[in-house]
Amino acid sequence: MAVLTAPALETAGEPTTGNKATLVVLSGDMDKIFAAFTIATGAAASGMETTMFFTFWGLQAVRKPVRTGRSLFGRMLSLFLKDINGIGPSKLNMGGLGRWMFKKMMKAHNAATLPELRQAAIDLGVRMLACQTSLEVMEFSRDDLIDEAQEIVGVAALMELAAQSKFTLFI
Amino acid sequence: MDAVNGELKAVKADLSLDLKGLLCPIPVVKMAQAIKTVPIAGIIEATATDPGVMADIPAWCRTTGQKLLSMERRDKVIRFVVQRVK
C-alpha cells in the first residue's frame, strides 16, 4: 500500500505573533476594495508582512476579466461579476454611473486607481490568498484569478495568520 | 538642491523624490520603495502637496525606524528629509 507522507508534518508552528497584518476582503464594492488596498499597501509600506485573503464578492478584486462558471447558475453568476475595473461603489452606483463618476473624480484629484493600488500592493510584496470554498461555490478556477492571487487556502490557514498578526481586518 | 532656506543646514541628498500631487497611500508607498534604494545613512529629500503627509511621514518613520531629519511646509508644498537608519 502506498504511504502518503504529508509535506508539512511540522506542527511546531511559527512564533505566535509577528509584525504581520491580515485583511479579509469579503466585499466587492469599489469603495471597500479601495480601502482594503490602501490599508494593505500602507501596512506593507510600514514594514508589516501583509496578507490579503479574498473571499466571495471580494474575489472580483483579483479576478481576471473572463467568463467563469460551469453550471447554468455558475455561468449566470459570471454575467454579474466584474473585475477590478468594473466594480462599482457600494452607494450611488446607479447602474454604473456612480462608478464612472467616482473614477472621474479620483482622476481629477490624482488619487491612485484601483489597478494601480493593486499593483503597488503586489510590488510591496503583499501576499494574496483566495478562499477555496468561494472558488468552488462560485465556480471559479485558480486560472480565473490573477497570477499573484493563485494561492488557495481555507479558514485554518487564515486563522494561523490572524493569530500571528497584530491586526486583522474584515472588509 | 535648494539649500537656501536660511536656518536649514544643507544636507546632501542621495535621492530626491517629487511626490507633489499624489494622494494617500502613494507617498508612503513611494517612500517605502525608495528607502531600499539608498544605502544605510543615505538621505532622501522629498516634496509633496498632500496635507496628510504631515502626519503620515513622521508615523511611517516611527514604524519603520527611519529618521526624519526635517519637515517644513511652505504654502502648499511640504518638503521633508529622511535618513535611512536600517
Q: Do A42 and B64 touch (CB under 8 A)?
A: no
ipTM, two decimals: 0.77
pLDDT value, residue A14: 55
pLDDT range class, residue A121, cuts 50, 70, 90: very high
Is B61 part of the annotated catalytic residue set? no
Options B24, B26, B59, B77, the catalytic residue: B24
Query: What does pLDDT average to over chain B?
Result: 90
Residue found by looking up cell 474584515 in the block: A170
Residue found by looking up cell 491580515 in the block: A22
CA distance B64 to chain A (A): 6
pLDDT value, residue A4: 59
Q: Angle B11-B57-A114 (CA atoms, 0-180°, nearest 5)?
A: 125
SS (H, E, C) A111-155: CCCHHHHHHHHHHCCCEEEEEHHHHHHHCCCHHHECHHHCEEECH
Query: Minimal Cα distance from B31: which residue of A?
Result: A45
pLDDT value, residue A18: 85
pLDDT value, residue B12: 86
Query: Rounded to an integer, what distance in angstroms lies between the CA atom of residue A133 and that of residue A138?
Result: 8
A7 pLDDT higher than 90? no
pLDDT range class, residue A10, cuts 50, 70, 90: low
Whether the CB of A47 is below 8 Å from some CB of chain B: the reply is: yes
For chain A, where are the alpha helices, taking DSSP H only? Answer: 30-45, 72-80, 97-108, 114-123, 132-138, 155-164
B29 vs A contacts (CB less than 8 Å): 41-42, 45, 120, 124
Percent of chain A with pLDDT over 90: 88
A8 pLDDT higher than 70? no
Query: What does pLDDT average to over chain A?
Result: 91
- A166 or A16, which is more confident: A166
Q: Do B26 and A45 touch (CB under 8 A)?
A: no
pLDDT range class, residue A17, cuts 50, 70, 90: confident
Q: Angle B4-B62-B86 (CA atoms, 0-180°, nearest 5)?
A: 85
